[in-house]
Each structure stands twice: as structure tokens, then as C-alpha cells.
Amino acid sequence: MDTIEPEVKAEVREEISPDLTGPEAVARLNRDMQRNSLTPLWQIETNLMSRQPRTQTLPWLWKWSTLYDIAERAGALVPIERGGDRRAIALSNPGLEGRPFATPTLWTAVQWLNGHEVAPAHRHTAQAIRFIIEGNGSWSTVEGDRVFLERGDLVLTPPWLWHDHGSKSDERAIWLDGLDIPLNNYLDASFFEPYKGEAQAVTQALNGTVLKYGVGQMRPAWEKRSVEYSPIFTYKWTDTERALDNLAQVASSPYDDIALEYTNPHTGGPVMPAFSAWIQMLRPGIHTQAHRQVGSSVYHVFEGSGETIINGVSFRWEKGDFFVVPSWAWHEHHNLGGNERAILFSLHDTPLLLALNKYREESYQLNNGHQEITGTFQPV
Ligand SMILES: [Fe+2]
Ligand SMILES: [Fe+2]
């Protein structure tokens, strides 16, 4: 068996010189620590435990026109093959040193599936969702439950469940992929297994989990509560839109207007342990108040146009765009689409922070809750 030899074996300490307390002794101490793979806290403390979050993640925005153009070209040039399994293009936050992550905890990608293609079945411990941007004629099968995908549907892939996607149409499908890959890898918890064969067998009636549990208030009387993950694998847009319209009649948040978190109906908790998914409507003309919270978020503009002001910078968005709000960044949303509603889909790592008792939030107290705008983000 191989053994790992430390580079410095014998010489762990320099020869003792007469200087026991002066600058030379301090320099020698520093060298000895470095040689022995040790780091003094007193030299790094302000970085190690900052007064408040100092994230490398940048607030950023990706234009739909760019994403679509690149995904379309990938659709023409890159086959879906075993190994890659998915034609997904990840948002790489420029603050994160080239890593393919939107935030320190969230992978977000645009996935393109050509008509009549199949993205082969596999399973992994990374927790995944898909939000369908265009889906005509495409389907997802999750653990034997197949559903045909429509714009605005949310599809869950809880950890270690088989899933594959395909199309019975001439049209391409395009959707948002959200996973906890950065966290899963940071924790050295990644397992992945390809399915033997391309698409798994469909073992339930079409839309099985939606028909069984989709109402959310009731479950088949002979079944136990599903606590580990949501029993519903697909949240259909028609139900989501009705829930937004219903909520708009009775209540709203000053920071998020009409915002709903998708939940596991059996626990009331988020759809994934590592992140939550939201759908949110900004009614015409709404300009929310600013706040900030610990944890990072990725937004996709499903409908409408407007701006989100992040740390004083206006990020103007329109249908299809994606943007990131880093941890502890002030943010407020503003619908600029005249008489049109705006709809935002978003992912948040809040469940992690709540579970670990690290969540904090704060509302912006100055200027009636609105930040002073100091600049406008210019997309590349
Ligand atoms: Fe997957
Ligand atoms: Fe917020």
C-alpha cells in the first residue's frame, strides 16, 4: 500500500540560536509552522471570522438572448451521450474562480433537449429540480413516474431516485436545472450511477404522483407520510398559477410581494433538504422594500420585465434572464412592465442555514426601504 511521506521529515525545527525573543525568533517560528503544515490564527483571524459575511459570489445577470443562442448552438453541435448524460450549460459566477457554480451552494444550468432525444437515466445523491421554460412534447420519468412537461412545471429529483428525460415531439425543450452539486462535493458526498439501458420503465400511470398527491391537502389513506422527500415529483403550472392568484387576493410580503415556497405537503418543509424553490409574482407597478438575508439565491425571470436593485446596483431583467443575489446583499424588486405582472422563479439555500442555526435577515431602514441607486449592471 502506498504511504504518504511528509516532505520535511527530520528537520522540524531550526537549530537553536542565541536570539530567543527577537524578530529572528519570530521569523523562525513562522517558518517552522509553515514547514510543519501549521497556520497561526493570529495572522488570519480577521479573514477567518469576518464581522459579517464577505462572500466572493458576485451579484450577476445572464441575458436570455445569450443563454438561448449558446444552448441552441450546443443543441446542434453536441450530442447527448452516456458519460455527459445531459446537455446542460452552467451559470458560472465570475466571483467563484471559474467554478461552474452560480453561488457557493447552488448549481444552476440551462438544459437543451432536441426533439426525439433521450437524456439517459441515472441517479445521484445530488438533489435536483427542473423548472420548465419550454417543454412541448417532452417528458421526465422519476422513479417510474412519467409526466409530460409544460411551461412552468417544477420537476423534482430527490436524491438517489432514477430519472431520465425525453421528447416525443419535433420541438426542442429547454429548462432550468437546479442542484446542490457545490455543497454535495464540498461534503465529499457525491455518488452517481448510470442506469443499465437508456430510459427506465414507466411503472405508474402517467402523472402518477400528481394524481395521487397533487391536491396536497390529502393523501391516500393507506399510505404513510413522505417525510424524507416530497411525494409529488411534479408541481404543475396550472396549480402554481392558481395558488399565486389566490394568495394575491388576501396577502403579500413587503419584500417579495406575492411569493410562494413550493413545499412537501406532508411536512410543510422545502422540496429539498438543501434548498428551497419559490415562485413569485410582482404585481404591476410593485416596488418592494429592500432587505437582506444570509444565504444565496438564483432567480429566473419567467414572465415580465423589471429590475432588482442589489447593493445599490440596478439589474434590469426581462423574460428568460437569470440573476444571482449573494448572501447578505441588500435587494429589492421592481416591476417595470407597465400593466403586466412579472413572475420570478428562484432557488434559495435557506434550509441549510436554518437547519444549522445560521440564518439571519435584516430589513433596510433608510429612505422608506429603498436603496440609493449608484449604478446599472451591464451584461456582457
Ligand atoms: Fe440527474
Ligand atoms: Fe429576499
Residues 67-101 pLDDT 10s: 999 999 999 999 997 777 899 999 999 999 999 99
Which of 108, 130, 127 is CA-nearest to residue 119?
A: 130
Does residue 40 belong to any structural domain of this protein?
A: no
Note if the pTM is more than 0.75: yes
Does residue 276 belong to any structural domain of this protein?
A: yes
Confidence of residue 214 (pLDDT cuts 50, 70, 90): confident
Does residue 118 belong to any structural domain of this protein?
A: yes
What spacing in Å lies between the alpha carbon of 354 and ligand 2's midpoint?
15
Q: Which helix or strand (DSSP H or E) is residue 27 part of?
A: helix 23-35
Length, in residues, of the chain: 380
What percentage of residues in the chain have a pLDDT greater than 70? Answer: 95
What local confidence, expressed as pLDDT, does residue 14 receive? 55
What spacing in Å lies between the alpha carbon of 336 and ligand 2's midpoint?
18
Does residue 229 belong to any structural domain of this protein?
A: yes
Domain interval for residue 322: 60-376
For the record, the C-alpha cell of 35 comes out as 514547514
What percentage of residues in the chain have a pLDDT greater than 90? Answer: 88
**Is the model's pLDDT at 370 over the cut of 90?**
yes
Which of 345, 273, 307, 340 is CA-nearest to residue 128?
A: 273
- CB-facing half-sphere around the CA of 185: CA atoms within 13 A: 11
Provide DSSP, 110-145: EEEE-TT-EEEEEEESS-EEEEEEE-TTEEEEETTE
Helix (H, G, I), strand (E, B) or coil at 188: coil
Does residue 89 belong to any structural domain of this protein?
A: yes
Query: Cα-flanking dihedrals φ and ψ of residue 191, to 5°?
Result: -125, 145
Are 263 and 271 in contact by the 8 Å Cβ rule? The answer is yes
Which ligand places an atom closest to the C-alpha of 325? 2
Q: What is the CB neighbour count within 10 angstroms for residue 107?
A: 26
Are 256 and 286 in contact by the 8 Å Cβ rule? The answer is no
Rounded average pLDDT over 113-132: 96
Rounded average pLDDT over 47-71: 95
Confidence of residue 267 (pLDDT cuts 50, 70, 90): very high
Does residue 172 belong to any structural domain of this protein?
A: yes
Does residue 27 belong to any structural domain of this protein?
A: no
What spacing in Å lies between the alpha carbon of 304 and ligand 1's midpoint?
30
What spacing in Å lies between the alpha carbon of 135 and ligand 2's midpoint?
29
Does residue 330 belong to any structural domain of this protein?
A: yes
Query: What's the number of domains the chain is made of?
Result: 1
The CATH number covering residue 256 comes to: 2.60.120.10
What spacing in Å lies between the alpha carbon of 121 and ligand 2's midpoint?
35
What is the Cα–Cα distance from 314 to 370, expressed in whole angstroms?
Answer: 12
